Structure 1
Amino acid sequence: MLNIADTLRIWCREARPFALATVVQVSGSAPLPVGTALAVDADGNAVGSVSGGCVEGAVYELCQQVLKADEPPTRARFGYSDDDAFAIGLTCGGELDVLVQRINPTEQPHLTAALDEVAAGRPTAVAHIIDGPEELLGRTLGVTGDAGTREGSVGGEDWEDTVTAQARALLRAGRTGRVEIGGDATTCPERLSVLVHTHAVRPRMLIFGAVDFAGALSEVGRFLGYRVTVCDARPVFATPARFPHADEVVTDWPHRYLGVTEVDARTAVCVLTHDAKFDIPLLRLALHLPVAYVGAMGSRRTHTHRLELLREAGVPKEHLIRLRSPIGLDLGAHTPEETAISIAAEIVAHTHQGPGTPLTWSTGPIHRGTTRSMVSSQA
């Protein structure tokens, strides 16, 4: 849903009814993830996608039907058919379930409020009932702001408390996900499947070392949606003019800055200095923090020496195994730009637990939801 938040916000503010088709379950190589949506207004305008093109026409027609007839929410499944080559389905071989419902913004002002929060860049979650009692199907509840203010209704205080708690947890993790609620006397008597759409603040990429590689990596990191910080103790190198793609450039000793700045379980720490006086105190701290990724640039000889120094500094083995060094995937990179792609590729693979091997060599689903690492250009 939030993939088309900008347009939905306009339609809601104009009190324009629309049909919303949301991917609520995928299997196999379905091209788009759970939570992705397509919407159609009364004039036939469409925005978004649920399949990247395979079944858009059928979903569009279903949206128009639900919107014009004011029908209750309905679910449809699309998959590949070996028996009928002309059947509507996914050519990629996967399957997806789509929930289609009519949205009247005047009846759901909390949805407009949630979309306003998204537009303002504030953390927001929309809990969406995708399976359960017929009278609750399609209902939404918004959880907005850092304090988790709740608006909307999903039918009963007990349910709403439980749904809100789940939405807050996923919002903190920055993850859209499906949760199962109820089915027992202590929560709610009937079982609900709730899809929580989240718009979290951008994850952070902390780049230490104001070098040419940092300039290229800051551009790639920002492209991937990270809030990028470049930090270096040398003021002559740590300047905004040298790193125009970074959200901020900090002049400070790396370990001192890392010790006071905010990090979380999505933060990527990239150490590009390969200078022991900076690296060792920085990595000693970084490997202790609950961040997503810690990588350090350097040759294999530099890496071996760095590990010795970290052991001497008292870094335990269970922390050392978290270190990605030499940083990046083996793409045969040479230039700063190629190296930045190599580092970013490793971060993406690590985030999604991908093996980093060519898809040509692998089998099974392409979309799911560790590897050798040598960047030849590292010093």
Structure 2
Amino acid sequence: MSGLFSELQTHLLQEQGIALATLVRGPHHVGAKLLLFPDASSRGTLGDATLDAQVKADAQLALWSGSAQLHHYQLANEAFEIFIEGFPPPPELIIVGAGHIAIPLTTIAKTLHYRVTIIDARAAFATTERFPHADEVIVAWPDEVLAQRRLSPSTAIAVLTHDPKFDEPTLKVVLERQVGYIGAIGSRKTSQERAKRLQSQGLTPEQLARIHGPIGLPIGAANPEEIALAIMAEIIAFRHQQAQ
């Protein structure tokens, strides 16, 4: 048991994300624990392989939502109560495109305790001088960076380039990955035209439906600061909706 607690502590310190399931009521093995990791692997057991398999699905959801609640399971004539706690990694915002909207968006996201990464192939825009609050500023083609980067349901992607040669390859990469929010700037007409081009390149309607475009909540935003606020509000709304 001490090994499980040590592993739990290590993952919490490394902010990798983990879920802990504890058997609190049942005919046997009360107190047994099961750890679930982001790659769906696990350590420990609740005393029954069938019960472990059922619990893992709920633990995977808790891992990314951060929920902590009691779950009830029935195996044959035996009832079990399992308390599942999720410890997701810190929320991350990746901003593709270092334009004027990205500056206030970085500030708002940092205020909300997001880890913020800026990616843009244009070295004149992607600078630490323009983004002093960003955790990371990367000068490279966004799709190439994201193809090699660890992404998770705790990751939000805001595509702000407004340029098909940047945003479409980026969207093709992230729509194949298990990420949270995906938003892309552009008018409704631009979003529809982009979706048609992406579908012709092999993306499915289900994948394209994941794109929030036009990006941001419709609050009548008229300047970069208001647009950044609308984007961040939509990201937060999506995050809480997914946690329910």
CA distance in 2, matches of 1:198, 1:338: 33
Q: Deviations over 1:246-300 (max 9, x none)?
A: 2222111122222222223343221101112212222233334343222111234
CA distance in 2, matches of 1:143, 1:286: 28
Residue type of the partner of 1:272? L
CA contact (8 A) 1:123 1:144 kept: no
Residue type of the partner of 1:180? H
- CA gap 1:164/1:250 in 2 versus in 1, 3 angstroms: farther
- When normalised by structure 2's length, the TM-score is 0.76
* 2:114 maps to 1:212: no
* 2:15 maps to 1:125: no
* 2:35 maps to 1:143: yes
Query: Percent identity between the aligned chains?
Result: 33
Q: Which residue of 2 aligns with 1:265?
A: 153
Count of residue pairs brought into register by the alignment: 240
CA distance in 2, matches of 1:164, 1:201: 23
Q: Deviations over 1:109-146 (max 9, x none)?
A: 9658745652453434332344445993xx36363877
Higher helix share: 2
CA distance in 2, matches of 1:145, 1:308: 37
Given candidates 158, 180, 184, the residue that maps to 2:48 is 158
Q: Which residue of 2 aligns with 1:56?
A: none
CA contact (8 A) 1:328 1:339 kept: yes
Q: Which residue of 2 aligns with 1:181?
A: 73
**1:220-259 equivalences in 2 (<5 Å):** 220-259=108-147
CA distance in 2, matches of 1:219, 1:170: 29
Instruction: Note the C-alpha offset of 1:340.
Output: 2.1
- CA gap 1:162/1:112 in 2 versus in 1, 3 angstroms: same
Residue type of the partner of 2:96? F
Instruction: Note the C-alpha offset of 1:194.
Output: 1.0
Q: Which residue of 2 aligns with 1:10?
A: none
Instruction: Note the C-alpha offset of 1:172.
Output: 5.4
Question: Is the deviation greater in 312-321 or in 255-264?
Answer: 312-321
- CA gap 1:316/1:183 in 2 versus in 1, 3 angstroms: closer
CA contact (8 A) 1:148 1:168 kept: no
CA contact (8 A) 1:269 1:295 kept: yes
Instruction: Note the C-alpha offset of 1:206.
Output: 1.9
- CA gap 1:302/1:120 in 2 versus in 1, 3 angstroms: closer
Question: Is the deviation greater in 114-123 or in 263-272?
Answer: 114-123
CA distance in 2, matches of 1:265, 1:126: 18
Instruction: Note the C-alpha offset of 1:201.
Output: 2.1
Q: Which residue of 2 aligns with 1:169?
A: 60
Residue 215 of structure 2 aligns to a residue in which SS?
A: coil
CA contact (8 A) 1:163 1:181 kept: no
Q: Gaps (5+ residues) in structure 2?
A: none
Given candidates 328, 342, 349, the residue that maps to 2:230 is 342
Backbone CA RMSD of aligned residues: 3.7
Instruction: Note the C-alpha offset of 1:168.
Output: 5.9
Q: Gaps (5+ residues) in structure 1?
A: 1-106, 355-367, 370-379
Task: Report which of the two structures shows the higher radius of gyration computed on alpha carbons.
Answer: 1
CA contact (8 A) 2:102 2:160 kept: yes
CA distance in 2, matches of 1:283, 1:239: 23
Instruction: Note the C-alpha offset of 1:231.
Output: 0.5
Q: Which has the higher contact order (CA 8 A, sep 6+)?
A: 2
Instruction: Note the C-alpha offset of 1:202.
Output: 2.5
CA contact (8 A) 1:232 1:254 kept: yes
Given candidates 289, 293, 307, the residue that maps to 2:181 is 293
**1:1-379 equivalences in 2 (<5 Å):** 114-115=8-9, 117-132=11-26, 136=30, 139=31, 141=33, 143=35, 148-150=42-44, 157-158=47-48, 162=52, 166=56, 169-170=60-61, 173=64, 175-176=66-67, 177-184=69-76, 190-353=78-241, 369=244
